[in-house]
């Protein structure tokens, strides 16, 4: 028995020989196509009276063109595996190569004493392109058909829900594996009779269970990156009832360049069910106010601040200054954006927004033009126990930033608020409401655009309900829910941050921009759904009662607020009464008397 190393070497050599043979066959086909094209032109031009043709000049033309084509293709790696056979990239490369060779032959023929007929020189290249491309497309169609008819039986049988671009990418990814794609589902009636690389569309989403049963499907892949949470939830429940594995793709903005990789195909998560909103972003508008500007983000190590930093970085600011008082959090966000966590560059700043003098030094050094203020204390029960800490950070810290931003003539100031600021009943809500009002007061004084952005719970933030439930499920339970009827608004962190960045250009200075969060979700339903998705059994749910300052149902607007529409369908605006900083002492005493 031969050694493994020898087997590997032999196998690799055989693969290399096959690859060289395939590439040689492509070059030979293009040479033959050129000959067929020339013969076709001659036949049509001379009514197939071949005795009238000067064959020596035509053969010389063909031999020289073939040598140029093969030589150019080898030099540019066109015949060395640069493109997938039959792909659009290869078709473009083929057209470019034939155009160059045709142009060169046109010039060479003009200098020859006995050139080929001008009709042959001019018409052969485009005709050769058609023949060469047709051969490649036929090869690809035949290859795909053979894969469908004689696909591997040892892998899982996969049904792809979504026959768009993402579905096509998933098909080609799975074909490199042992899995067999048996068909597509798509809700677009126009795709009812579509076949993609030989794989048919078998119906729409309503037929998921029946098609899966008829085709003996093992796995459903939802290949619709723009799918709503309702669609994900509905399809997953059908797959679960049928005993099938169910996989999804993330949103397009979470995939690199919109391209699907094998790592993107993953099991469904509660975030997919609750937080997949249709967010439309005006990239041109955002780039217009961020690109080439100096941007500072406070609380940049937190869940919202770090995602804001990642999204702002995509638009190429002149400087991105990430400020936080947590050095470990700064290390993590720098690593996620720049690929290192050296913490030795000016874009990471260790500073507490309670310290106005330190903030002055930061603004003097970096001269920010745009400020996203995400630094805050946010845990409601903790702030109920330590209200003074919430006041110092959420109110006085915001005031420090507003004062420094005004003095340095910041063009855009975006204060991150919360839905708890509407009809506030807690220290968290009260302090964030005052921060909104302070922002409105400075908007009246300065020339910059000062706004607040208000939204509800974000899925997956540090210390959030989802993290708590996940840990409790992994520990075997119980899951603790405050009240059986409590509801909350939810949105994923990337979705919320996309809208925050967009809102920075909207509305009147001083307004509060409120993000559309969809329908409030019952926390008890979330707990049950997470238990189902985890496939855990015997996990109990216990009710602990509402905590001090906690509402049964959150609201995005208070009774006296009148929301107005904006140019973005998911952003509305409300005016808030400004508060003069000189009145803060009275507000502080009032909050202490709650």
Candidate ranges 134-138, 350-354, 515-519; pick with highest mean pLDDT: 350-354
What is the separation of C-alpha 359 from the centre of its chain, rounded to a whole number of angstroms? 34
Structure tokens at 497: 């941050």
DSSP code per residue over 13-67: HHHHHHHHHHHHHHHHHHHHHHHHHHHHHHHHHTTT-GGGS-HHHHHHHHHHHHH
Distance (Å, whole) CA 267 – CA 250: 10
Write the CA distances from 88 to 84, 145, 463, integer angstroms: 9, 19, 47
Maximum Cα–Cα distance across the chain: 110
Q: Where are the alpha helices (DSSP H) in 112-214?
A: 118-149, 165-175, 208-214
Per the domain annotation, does 173 fall within a domain? yes
Sign of CA dihedral 324, 325, 328, 331: positive
Number of domains in the chain: 3
* SS3 state at 181: strand
* pLDDT (average), residues 551-571: 88
Per the domain annotation, does 248 fall within a domain? yes
Tell me if 345 sits within 8 A of 268, measured CB to CB: no
Asked if the model's pLDDT at residue 550 lies above 80, the reply is: yes
293 and 411, same domain (yes or no): yes
Least confident of 126-135, 141-150, 361-370, 558-567: 141-150
* pLDDT (average), residues 137-142: 76
448 and 582, same domain (yes or no): yes
Which domain covers residue 118, as residue numbers?
4-148
Asked if the model's pLDDT at residue 418 lies above 50, the reply is: yes
User: How many other C-beta atoms are found inside a 10 Å radius of the C-beta of residue 292?
Assistant: 13
DSSP code per residue over 110-139: HH-SSPPPHHHHHHHHHHHHHHHHHHHHHH
Between 165 and 360, the more confident residue is 360
Considering the chain, what is the average pLDDT of its residues?
85
Burial of 538 (0-12, 13-18, 19+ CB in 10 A): exposed
User: How many other C-beta atoms are found inside a 10 Å radius of the C-beta of residue 110?
Assistant: 10
Distance (Å, whole) CA 445 – CA 402: 11
Asked if the model's pLDDT at residue 245 lies above 80, the reply is: yes
Distance (Å, whole) CA 461 – CA 406: 30
Per the domain annotation, does 470 fall within a domain? no
Query: Taking the CA of residue 593 as centre, how many other CA atoms within 13 Å lie in the half-sphere pointing to its CB?
Result: 6
Distance (Å, whole) CA 302 – CA 304: 6
236 and 304, same domain (yes or no): no
Tell me if 445 sits within 8 A of 410, measured CB to CB: no
Per the domain annotation, does 476 fall within a domain? no
Structure tokens at 553: 């149902």
| Predicted pLDDT at 69 | 87
264 and 311, same domain (yes or no): no
Among 268, 291, 307, the domain boundary falls at: 268
Asked if the model's pLDDT at residue 493 lies above 80, the reply is: yes
* Residue 2's pLDDT band (cuts 50, 70, 90): very low
* Residue 7's pLDDT band (cuts 50, 70, 90): very low
| Predicted pLDDT at 89 | 76
* Residue 374's pLDDT band (cuts 50, 70, 90): very high
| Predicted pLDDT at 400 | 97
Tell me if 435 sits within 8 A of 398, measured CB to CB: yes
* SS3 state at 412: strand
Asked if the model's pLDDT at residue 260 lies above 90, the reply is: no
Instruction: Report cis status (omega within 30 of 0) of the bond before 478.
Output: yes
Among 148, 178, 209, the domain boundary falls at: 148
Distance (Å, whole) CA 155 – CA 175: 11
Distance (Å, whole) CA 504 – CA 550: 29
Per the domain annotation, does 210 fall within a domain? yes
445 and 319, same domain (yes or no): yes
| Predicted pLDDT at 587 | 72
336 and 261, same domain (yes or no): no
* pLDDT (average), residues 386-408: 96
Per the domain annotation, does 220 fall within a domain? yes
68 and 167, same domain (yes or no): no
Look at the pTM and tell me if it is higher than 0.85: no
85 and 191, same domain (yes or no): no
* SS3 state at 293: coil
Long-range contacts of 211-215 (CB under 8 A, 24+ apart): 211/159, 211/183, 211/185, 212/159, 212/239, 212/242, 212/244, 213/242, 215/157, 215/159, 215/182, 215/183
Strands 449-454 and 348-350, bridge-based pairing: unpaired
35 and 110, same domain (yes or no): yes
* pLDDT (average), residues 59-68: 87
> Which residue in 562, 458, 557 sits closest to 514, CA to CA?
557
CATH number of the CATH domain containing 207? 3.40.50.720
Judged by phi (left if over 0) then psi (alpha if -120 to 50, else beta), residue 21 lies in: alpha
291 and 346, same domain (yes or no): yes
Tell me if 392 sits within 8 A of 351, measured CB to CB: no
Distance (Å, whole) CA 416 – CA 375: 8
Between 517 and 300, the more confident residue is 300
Per the domain annotation, does 373 fall within a domain? yes
135 and 76, same domain (yes or no): yes
Per the domain annotation, does 61 fall within a domain? yes
Angle at 488 between CA 483 and CA 490, to 5 degrees: 145
Beta strands in 186-277 (DSSP E): 195-196, 199-203, 219-222, 245-248, 266-267
| Predicted pLDDT at 254 | 67
Angle at 90 between CA 85 and CA 96, to 5 degrees: 145
Write the CA distances from 483 to 92, 538, 545, integer angstroms: 62, 20, 5
Structure tokens at 286: 């955002």
143 and 198, same domain (yes or no): no
Among 268, 291, 323, the domain boundary falls at: 268
CA R_g for the chain: 32
């Amino acid at each position: 028995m031969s050694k493994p190393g020898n087997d590997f070497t032999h196998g690799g050599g055989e693969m290399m020989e096959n690859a060289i043979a395939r590439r040689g066959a492509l070059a030979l086909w293009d040479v033959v196509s050129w000959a067929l094209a020339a013969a076709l032109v001659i036949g049509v031009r001379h009514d197939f009276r071949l005795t009238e043709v000067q064959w020596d000049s035509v053969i010389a033309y063909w031999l020289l063109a073939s040598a140029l084509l093969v030589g150019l293709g080898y030099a540019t790696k066109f015949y060395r595996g640069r493109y997938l056979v039959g792909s659009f990239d290869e078709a473009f490369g083929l057209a470019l190569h034939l155009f160059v060779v045709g142009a060169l032959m046109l010039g060479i023929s003009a200098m020859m004493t006995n050139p080929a007929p001008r009709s042959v020189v001019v018409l052969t290249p485009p005709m050769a392109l058609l023949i060469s491309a047709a051969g490649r497309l036929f090869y690809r169609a035949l290859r795909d058909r053979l894969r469908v008819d004689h696909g591997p039986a040892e892998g899982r049988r996969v049904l792809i829900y979504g026959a768009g671009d993402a579905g096509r990418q998933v098909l080609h990814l799975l074909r490199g594996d042992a899995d067999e794609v048996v068909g597509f589902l798509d809700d677009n009636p126009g795709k009812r009779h579509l076949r993609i690389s030989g794989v048919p569309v078998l119906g729409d989403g309503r037929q998921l269970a029946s098609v899966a049963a008829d085709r003996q499907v093992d796995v459903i892949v939802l290949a619709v990156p723009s799918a709503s949470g309702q669609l994900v939830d509905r399809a997953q429940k059908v797959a679960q009832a049928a005993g099938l594995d169910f996989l999804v793709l993330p949103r397009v903005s979470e995939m690199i360049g919109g391209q699907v990789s094998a790592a993107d195909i993953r099991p469904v998560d509660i975030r997919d069910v609750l937080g997949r909103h249709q967010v439309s972003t005006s990239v041109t508008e955002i780039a217009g106010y961020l690109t080439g500007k100096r941007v500072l983000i406070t609380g940049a190590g937190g869940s919202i601040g770090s995602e804001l930093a990642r999204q702002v970085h995509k638009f190429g600011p002149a400087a991105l200054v990430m400020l936080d008082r947590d050095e470990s959090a700064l290390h993590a966000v720098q690593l996620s954006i720049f690929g290192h966590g050296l913490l030795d560059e000016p874009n990471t700043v260790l500073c507490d927004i309670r310290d106005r003098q330190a903030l002055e030094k930061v603004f003097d050094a970096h001269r920010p033009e745009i400020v996203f203020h995400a630094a805050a204390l946010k845990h409601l029960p903790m702030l109920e126990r330590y209200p003074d800490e919430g006041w110092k950070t959420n109110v006085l810290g915001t005031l420090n930033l507003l004062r420094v931003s005004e003095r340095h003539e910041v063009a855009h100031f975006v204060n991150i608020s919360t839905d708890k600021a509407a009809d506030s009943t807690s220290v968290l809500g009260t302090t964030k409401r005052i921060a909104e009002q302070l922002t409105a007061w400075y908007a009246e004084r300065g020339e910059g655009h000062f706004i607040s952005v208000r939204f509800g719970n974000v899925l997956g933030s540090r210390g959030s309900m989802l993290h708590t439930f996940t840990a409790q499920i992994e520990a075997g339970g119980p899951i603790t829910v405050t009240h059986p009827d409590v509801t909350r608004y939810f949105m994923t962190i990337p979705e919320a941050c996309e809208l925050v960045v967009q809102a920075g250009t909207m509305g009147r200075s001083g307004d509060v921009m409120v993000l559309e969060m969809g329908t409030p979700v019952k926390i008890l339903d979330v707990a049950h759904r997470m238990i189902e998705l985890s496939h855990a059994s015997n996990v109990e749910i216990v009710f602990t009662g509402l905590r001090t300052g906690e509402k049964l149902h959150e609201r995005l607007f208070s009774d006296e607020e009148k929301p107005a529409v904006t140019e973005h369908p998911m952003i509305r605006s409300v005016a808030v009464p400004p508060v003069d900083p000189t009145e803060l002492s009275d507000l502080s005493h009032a909050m202490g008397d709650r």
